[in-house]
Amino acid sequence: MRVKYLQFFMHSSEFWPIFWQMVNTARLNVIFVRLGPTRSLQIVDVENTTVRSDGSVPDWIFLAAARPEIKHLDANELHPAEWGWVQIDVPRARDDVLLLSTLAGKYEWYDPLDNQTKANKEVIRVFDKLARFLKKRLMKPVWARNLKERSKPQRYNQIWYSSGAADWVSNGRVLQQEGVDNIVFSIQVNSLANTQLD
């Protein structure tokens, strides 16, 4: 299935104001998802909300042009491509590590009734609008180095970063992708020269 995505590093403190400005500009509906044994969906009607009604930070956020009827949806059976939903990660940090976030729009889905793969152009339209909005507030490139292979830093023009992520790095902290501890990212190529695997 085909997916459009934009990867970026951003501090959560700068994410929420940008997120709500983006949502309001694009006139989208916001769906917070909680994972785990009590998986649930929640439509967010209050602007500038950063937590679910139970006080928890959403595990996933979906954005949709059409307001979904949540009561008719099963939180364990999500079909974002079929429904025209685009997903965005809430930026997260773990100790001194700022984790990579993604805006993603899966726009192809399989219809078992027709036995066909179908494309949802609404996902592409919404994703493109959101990606344009974010890119105007982000910079690129980032550099990455594989610590196990002791490779030279590689330039990644497809990964973006915010001013908060740049501050994070300038304060001696690290940029990484969740679950990929041997790859370290940075804003400046020179800062990766002496990085080592713990």
Walk along the chain (198 residues) and give the pLDDT tens digit of each residue: 789 999 999 999 999 999 999 999 999 999 999 888 888 899 998 888 888 888 888 999 999 999 998 888 888 889 999 999 999 999 999 999 999 999 999 999 888 899 999 999 999 999 999 999 999 999 999 999 888 887 788 999 999 999 999 999 999 999 999 999 889 999 986 655 444 444
Residue 185 lies in a domain: yes
Point out the domain boundary residue: 135, 151, 175: 135
Position of tokens 């610590």? 147
Backbone phi, psi, residue 33, to 5°: -120, 135
- Residue numbers of the domain that contains 92: 3-135
- Can you state the angle between helices 163-170 and 12-26, rounded to 10 degrees? 170
* CA distances for 44 relative to 51, 105, 160, angstroms: 9, 20, 27
Q: What is residue 140's predicted lDDT score, i.e. its pLDDT?
A: 95
Residue 65 and residue 22 share a domain? yes
Residue 92 and residue 18 share a domain? yes
Residue 128 and residue 175 share a domain? no
Residue 24 lies in a domain: yes
Residue 89 and residue 17 share a domain? yes
Q: Residue 197, CB half-sphere, CA atoms under 13 Å: how many?
A: 11
Residue 197 lies in a domain: no
The pTM of the full predicted model, rounded to 2 decimals, is: 0.89
- Number of structural domains in the chain: 2
Residue 91 and residue 34 share a domain? yes
Compute the distance between CA of residue 176 and CA of residue 178 in angstroms, rounded to an integer: 6
Residue 52 and residue 126 share a domain? yes
Residue 170 and residue 72 share a domain? no
Point out the domain boundary residue: 99, 118, 135: 135
Q: Hey, what are 110's tokens?
A: 């399989």
Residue 147 and residue 131 share a domain? no
Residue 159 and residue 124 share a domain? no
Residue 40 lies in a domain: yes
